């Protein structure tokens, strides 16, 4: 019974992703992407990783997607942009990429099915993750925090306004990585 839940979630994730990446409207694509992320969160939950599932929803589907929404709002792409996007969906454009990724997929699937691997089923609680995170992985946590700091500074630097020549444009909100509190 629950096994079927997994396959349904997997199918939802897959189709939502495909839809997300083929839309011409960025906002619609974003909604599909959120659906895909939620589906993946369901898979995490089913796999016995509730903490990861919660973080997936909070950080991915929440914080990161909100950043996308902000940026799309600011860019104000409009109908014209959509029309352009639609024209770009020409078969000549996507045949080669699709072929390449199909080849890669087939290879991966062949490799994966070759091995009769183990089965999932262990429940790993947030406590275990926390013990591990601040035990053997404490250095990785520090590195991650440094990476996030670098992301913060980089985003501030890249997102700042340009010199005088376009000072009349609206000031650009810098994307703040709320996700910084994830690890700390």
Partner 1 sequence: MLQNIWLIPLLPFVSSVLLILTAGRLPRRLIAIMGAGSVGLSALIVLAVGMQFMELQTPYSLTLWVWMQVGNFAPGFSFYIDQLTVVMLSVITGVGFLIHLYSTEFMQDDSDYSRYFAYMNMFVAAMLILVMADNLLLLYLGWEGVGVCSYLLVGFWYKDPVNGAASRKAFVVTRVGDTAMALGLFLLFTELGTLQIQPMLEAANSRWVTGDTIPAIAALLLLGGAVGKSAQLPLHTWLPDAMAGPTPVSALIHAATMVTAGVYLIARTHGLFLLAPDVLMLVALVGLFTLLLAAFTALNQTDIKRILAYSTISQIGYMFLALGVGAWSAGIFHLMTHAFFKALLFLGAGAVVHCLHHEQNIFKMGGLRSKLPIVFWSFLIGSAALAALPFTSGFFSKDQILLSAFELHGTTGISLWIGPWLWAGGLVGAILTAIYSFRLVFIVFYGEAKTEPDRQPGWRMAAPLSLLCILSLIGGYFVLPLASVFPTVAQHQVSHLVEGISISIPLIGVLIAWLVYYKHSLPVEGFTESSLGKALRNFWYSGWAMDKLYDTIIVKPYTGTANAMRGEWLDRIYHGIVSLCQGSHALLSRTQGGKMRWYATSMVFGLIILVTLLGWVS
Partner 2 sequence: MEGLIIPLNHVLIVAALLFATGLAGLMFRRNVIFILMSLEVMLNSAGLAFVAAGAAWAQADGQVIFMLILAVAAAEVSVGLGLVLQVQKRFKTLDMDHAQKLNG
- Partner touching 138 among partner 2, partner 1, none, CB below 5 to 8 Å by kind: none
Which residue, 66 or 108, is less far from partner 1 as judged by CB? 108
CB of 102 to partner 1, least distance (A): 10
Token reading at 91:
């078969």
Please calculate the CA angle 158-164-169 and round it to the nearest 5 degrees: 70
Can residue 73 be called a binding residue for partner 2 (CB under 8 A)?
A: no
Q: Which two tokens stand for residue 60?
A: 């991915």
- Here's the x/- map for partner 2, 151-180, by CB under 8 A: it reads as xx-xx-xxx--x---x--x--x-xxxx-xx
Tokens of 86: 């639609």
Structure tokens at 146: 């440094």
User: ∠ CA 118-14-147 to the nearest 5 degrees?
Assistant: 80
Q: Which residues lie near partner 1 (CB under 8 A)?
A: 96-97, 100-101, 103-104, 107-108, 110-111, 114
Q: At what angle do helices 26-46 and 2-22 cross, to 10 degrees?
A: 160
Q: Which does 110 bind (CB under 5 to 8 A by kind): partner 1, partner 2, none?
A: partner 1
């Amino acid at each position: 019974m629950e096994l079927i839940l997994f396959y349904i979630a997997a199918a939802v994730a897959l189709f939502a992703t495909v839809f997300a990446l083929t839309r011409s409207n960025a906002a619609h694509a974003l909604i599909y992407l959120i659906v895909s992320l939620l589906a993946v969160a369901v898979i995490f939950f089913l796999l016995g990783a509730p903490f990861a599932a919660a973080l997936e929803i909070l950080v991915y589907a929440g914080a990161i997607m909100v950043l996308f929404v902000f940026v799309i709002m600011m860019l104000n792409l409009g109908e014209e942009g959509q029309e352009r996007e639609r024209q770009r969906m020409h078969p000549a454009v996507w045949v080669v990429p699709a072929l390449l990724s199909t080849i890669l997929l087939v290879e991966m699937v062949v490799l994966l099915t070759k091995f009769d691997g183990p089965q999932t089923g262990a429940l790993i609680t947030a406590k275990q993750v926390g013990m591990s995170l601040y035990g053997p992985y404490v250095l990785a946590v520090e590195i991650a925090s440094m990476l996030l700091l670098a992301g913060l500074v980089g985003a501030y630097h890249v997102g700042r306004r340009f010199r005088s020549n376009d000072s009349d444009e609206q000031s650009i909100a810098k994307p703040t990585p709320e996700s910084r509190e994830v690890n700390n």
